Structure 1
Amino acid sequence: MFAYDTEGFGPESLLGRTSDREVVLRRDVEAALRRLNPGLPDDAYHDALAQVTADDRTKTLLQVNKEKYRLLRDGVPVKYRDEAGRMTDRRLKLVDFDDPANPKKNRFLVVRELWVKGDTYRRRPDVLGYVNGLPLVFIELKRYDQHIDKAFKQNYSDYKDTIPHLFHWNALILLSNGVDAKYGSITSIMEHFSRWKRQKEEDPEPTADQPLLPLLLRGMLNKEALLDLVENFILFDRTEGELQKIVARNHQYLGVNQVIGKLLSKEPGMQAEVEAGRLGVFWHTQGSGKSYSMIFLTEKTHRKISAKYTFVVMTDRNELDEQIFGTYTGCGAATNKKAKAMDGKAPDRFTLIRRAQVEWMKETEICVVVSPEQGEVAEFRKWELDIVPHREKMVHRDLNLEFKKPEHPFRVVIVCAMWLTGYDVKCLATLYLDKPMKGHTLMQAIARVNRVGGGKKNGLIIDYNGMLKSLRKALATFAQGDRKGSDQDILRDDTEAVAEYGQSIRAAQDFLTGCGFNLDELIAANGFDKQAMILRGVNTVCETDERRKTFEVMADDIAARFRGIFPNPGLYAYDEQENAIAAIYNRLQESKESPDVSEMLQALYAVIDTAVTTDTLTVNEPPVRYELTKIDISRLQAEFERTCPNIKMLNLREKIEKRLEAMIARNPTRVDLYERYQEIVAEYNKEYNKDKDAVEVQKVFDLLQKDTQTRPERERIKEVAKELLDKLLSDKLQIDHWREKATAQAQVKAEIIKHLFVNLPETGYAEHEISARADLVFAHLYQTCAGTMAFHQ
């Protein structure tokens, strides 16, 4: 479509734009939302469209691009009431990645010479590629006799400076002079732009006189390849500290898809190779991006095939462990070092493992323990089995004792009747059942894995024989206790257990939301941002003792429910939430186990040391203890008034209380000291809550004031800040979960702008200055707990 000076504006115009500032084609986006997500209330579509077109000027271009990419790949989150009036959460598709070339699903549009206006400048890019109204592809073209670098330096770089909102939704940057052609991302420097030289792995390298633009267009911009690249071959990496957007190179795209293709192949020969464990070799030279290839492969497998796969990455040295794991965490594909397999403990999704651990698995011994009988050698030979080596072990070794030792390599035993009853192994964790059993024998067999010990929380039973009916009957006979004769089923259906697990996840998420912490923001964060969000979550739940204990109980309940129904496929729907909650919980436990409160304790000891006096001893006098009544309580109270993170404060309180309890145990008459300490803590908490409001007013005032203002003007601005916060905190807005709704955010921002235009001093603030300060205030309220509490989230 050619748009140069022929476009027009309005709902019925060529592209449906209302002005040349718009780069998202709202008409096409709304049509796609309704087409791909039918049957929803209009509010859901309008909310999603508002999020798509939102322009947050407080964030960098890369931050906005990353947020928009997640909406594109994962869907736009909306809340709406269904026909029954229930509040429903859902992510609305913007693009159908599963059926990319279907014209009933996706609309592909190429627009030439589209005028785009920024704040000051107006520019006309050569070619833009749209999918369902979103500008995903930017193409800058030069004449064949000009070097491709000019497209980068003269045009593309200028557009990023003058019309940056054009790149909010961008996935690919393409530069060409008709002969040479390169592609990259919005963070790529020219040296990092790449060429697309092959359509298939076996294709030869292009000759020196072969134009590269046709290869790139056929390889990257056919409908299937484009949406495959967008969905599965883009990463945001913070490994080197500064966030970078990564687009797969030609060999990475071909190699990963070749692996996926072989894994999904229906061809008998390939299926046989896959079943035999010969998926193939994906060879990389040094510096060719093998870590990124690993992430592209693992993430696409989980996204397009099954989330059940666990990937084992085997290395032969520590530096490779750190390098590969650092890339995984930097790209958000792993959240913490518990994703690494150390000492044989493996995670759910991917594992770094060294050759020493492979050797550990190889040395694991499997023994058979069965009762001896005459003629067993011949009987086993009928099944092409040799019982003699196993019988020698049973005769010459104490297998009974060896199997009870966790450190012994004898870790797997195959039994028939022996060891199923009356044999206790505390470290036994898993029982595989492939033999019909019932009644008392079945109950005894199950009990083998239920012994407490070895750090396990529960035993796991894998049933290959379908003995649920027998188990129900056995439990009805032997395990009902006082419930015997009742109709209550002691075994619950997995569906019910998964539903209750989901409820426990939602309860924990709602609890964190009520405390002022948005779990979805932690889920969406990557790299260092994720670590910062985890620390913020820990600090939030540690604001009070009661809050911390409540969260710990909820997290423990989630973990217990997970263990009880793993590996049910229904668990995978809650992976992101469970991982985020576990990350906060684990970090909280680490803080409790080794709290860094030494500096605070030293300061407290200094207070006590200066407030306590002793008398000189004489030879005949008994030793004199510290006189507790001489502690300077006012100085002790002052220490509590110092600003400090919540986790450190609670850890310090625990240490002080333990020490005071020990003192009282030795001298019960000094209970008044402990009571006075409790009064100080209660008084501090009361004043702390009062001070938080004043602190918020001061923060908003700092965003509004100017250094050149007089004292009366500054006092007036402080009043404006307080009135604004009071207004937003009042019942006038009545907005729940406002940060999750684009329309609600717009209402909050409009209220801020209106208040500042009406109440700020008429002199000293230009219109653009008021708008800029409104943006800063909105960003502050959005990002801080104060803004969260203000709107009852």
Structure 2
Amino acid sequence: HEWKRLAEDDEGSVALETMLRGVCKKENFLDLLENFILYDHSGGKTVKILARNHQYLGVNEAVKAYAARKLNNGKLGVFWHTQGSGKSYSMVFLSQKIRRKFAGSPTIIILTDRDELNKQISDTFENCGLLGKTKASGYIASSGDDLVRKLKGNPSFIFTLIQKFNKPDAEPIHPDHDILIMSDEAHRSQYGVFAENMMHLLPDASRIGFTGTPLLSDDNITARTFGGYLSVYDFKRAVEDGATVPLYYENRGDKIQDLQNPEISDRILDAIENADLDVDRQDKLEAEFAKEIHILTAEPRLRKIARDFAAHYSDLWTSGKAMFVCLNKVTCVRMYNYVQEYWQEEIKKTAARLKKASQQETQELERKLEWMKETEMAVVISQEQNEIQTFRKWGLDILPHREKIEKGNLDKRFKDSEDHLRIVFVCAMWLTGFDVKCLSCLYLDKPLKAHTLMQTIARANRVNEGKSNGLIIDYVGIVKALRNALADYTRNPAGKEHTDPTIDKEKLIARILETTAAAKEFLSARNYDLQNLIDAKDFSKVERLQAAEAVCGTIEDRKTFVTYGSEISRLIRYTNRDELTSEQRSECNAVIAINNVLKRKRRHIDITDLMVEINSIINEYIQIEEQSDAEPKTNAGFDISKINFELLGREFAKVRKTKLVLRDLEDVIRQKLDAMVAENPGRMDYYERYQTIISNYNGEQDRASIEKTFTELINLAQSLDDEQQRYIREGFTTEEELYVYDILFKPELSKAEIKKIKEVSTELLQKIKTIISVSDHWSDKQETMAAVDNVIRDILWAELPECYDEKSITDYRDKVKTYIYERFREAA
């Protein structure tokens, strides 16, 4: 591997001096030999793994943080290394070095949020030899009780889902050994109730969060659990270093013709009326129509895409494997069937071409024909209740697919570049936490939010022998999500207004208690006592939850209560455990539990018959615009490697963080009920609604619009990257020093005065950091706050040039103090 940096902040250069100083320095060489070599026995063969430059630097940063864990309240930080850069191996390297270099026998807990991720990471640890002769299953917590039993012992490792921390009243465990929690994909679900339970059960544990994408939402909550960024290796640097391959984007979506017959509305409304829906099914139908996917799943559109996919991927037959992302599980199986049909057509076309081919073309076409005939496809979707009946209503058979998923060893086969399983159809599984180096083509026909999209496109960026780039093929218009994020950012450029993402805790607690009281009053008016649910145990609690569900008898009642529950769920994540009394938290959790029951019930309500009927009606009216021969579909595509998605993600996140607002509760309820009336499936003008959907969809296929979006994203990323590097050009060692300098800077300073301002900025920040570093929770202590204020006052008065008058120094002092408080409030 190229050794380009001696420290993470280095720009990086491939030079003999850098390699010699980085690898051949005695301490580093011995460290690499002892702690950064693994032998991975996965897949029946042994592979020697040597840490890459970024893994070595990042893991050693984490080791330093672990050594100083007592000073940081156990918060080691967030380890952000982009998708495909070896994050799982980094977790193994870190575990290996900690167990070898530190006294005692720590228990290392590997925390995930999905079974498949739990199995993948535990298998990695087993195959790399860290579990000794014990199988990974011996270290996996099978239940909440089993987790507690394991924690009371001292096993070397525990692999568990965050959901296993499900005992809020469990006695805290204070072991006589260290506990380190390694959380995989820290930003996704590892906060909230389960994280609160974890912190309560293991108050002395150290915590580090691993992620492959930036903390795009709620990262102030993640920082409370894990701390700030510990090590960063982003998308741009990974491409430059060859740790990932470049990515190209190509839009191949066809436009849909405008609807010509308004009678579609009457036919759909008649179908809904004839279905005679009860409250539960009406609620489910409303949720389905809110997704706006019925146009996208129309058979004419899916068939057109399937035909294009078969032609497009068969032309790329030497490139690698393909993953097709569909809207939902049923669509995965439908698309599989359509592609199978058109794949056979492509085989016939290739065979016909072979008969007319020249001698020079014959050999290549024979190889392609053999490749197409042996190519295998599979559907990879999770199991759900009553799936056999659901798929049967759509005229589909899920059983052969389910048997293949369960017994076909599909994950290992798809990772094997020599295996004939080359195409998979997915909708959620394998989009995250599943690395396939030989995957080169990712076909997207599912709208994704910006942060999910950024994680999904990285499926195709893994380095593999003979693979020069990854290709993203877009059928649905994914650029819209990026453009929306860009628009949000443009309206309020992050960092320009310095909006504090946190809010007044007194107002936050008051709003939570107000909403809880409103929910209790709502239930009480319907003869339901929330306290009975709180006091209930075991099966009695289940009965009380079912009774609560029964009191929400009308659509309006259900919407009202769900609004209460959702508002409490949204706000309570911003509180610490000790900011609500146990009684208050119990009431909040009870309201949330009822809300979850209502939402869960909706998921299991079956309206498949009606949805099949509506889909068949829509199929009759949807037609795809034919592409003329003079306007070929194939285009050169866009190189999206130049877009630093992680950097943009961090900036976009700053915008979203400002959106935690305490809206008037009555307004929230009223907006919810108004939306319910507007979106009532029984009164909707489907002709008008679908015309709007089609117009918006067609707009996303416009090449000029796509090009404009990518150009803006590239320019923004470049400008942000330039700004990030400005502190180096100005002669500072950190961005924090640059920020203080920017606060103190004013126009018309001489060169000597500018030099003096830079010296003041560096000296001031160093002295403040010294004061903060020796104080625990410095921002909560008046004497420490006063000491920081005094240092700012004394240095500014003594050191600033003469051109700064008394009044301006007071203003600058306040600005610096505000920045220091906001920037270092969480510091130990």
Q: TM-score range by the shorter chain?
A: under 0.3
- Between structure 1 and structure 2, the one with the greater Rg is 1
TM-score by length of 1: 0.22
Q: Which fold has the larger relative contact order, with Cα–Cα distance below 8 Å and residues 6 or more apart in sequence? A: 2
TM-score by length of 2: 0.21
Q: If each structure's helix is expressed as a fraction of its own residues, which one has the higher value? A: 2
